[in-house]
A = this chain, B = another copy of it.
Amino acid sequence: MKDIKHFLRQNSLRPTKQRVIIANYLFDGVNKHVTAETLSNKLLKMKAEISLATIYNTLHDFYEKGLLKKLMINSERIYFDTNTEHHHHFYSKKDQKLIDINVDMKVSGLPKPPKNKKINKIEVLVHLDN
């Protein structure tokens, strides 16, 4: 895609074959939550065999450029989120699935942070089922 190459260049990323394929998938307009593994599987289904090393490199490169958000939900894998706006999530451990909560939520009753510490961001994770 011409657009994606332009998009990558704009973000100081060389539009290599692999990056173009991955960016085309990730930034197709539908927000996604991927792990290195789920992305690899998806790419294989699309007949794009890209090494795991490159997938990890690319996810981190995109993250460095602010194109992806990192989500630390559990200790088993890192999720990358194409929705870079501040938002919250439903999480189903059973399905290993995340669902965006874009609605304006408010947390009230928050105590003051400890001395010399500032609040960076508030993350709400709504666990579903088990």
Contact = CB atoms under 8 A, between A and B. Distances in A.
Highest count of chain B CB atoms <10 Å: which of A74, A104, A111, A127: A111
Contacts of A74: 72, 75
Nearest to A117: B128
Contact of A105 (B101, B108, B126): B108
Contacts of A109: 103-106
30 contacts: A72-B73, A72-B75, A74-B75, A75-B76, A75-B77, A75-B78, A99-B114, A101-B111, A103-B109, A103-B111, A105-B110, A106-B108, A106-B109, A107-B124, A108-B108, A113-B126, A113-B128, A117-B129, A119-B126, A119-B128, A120-B128, A120-B130, A121-B127, A122-B126, A122-B127, A123-B124, A123-B125, A123-B126, A124-B125, A125-B125
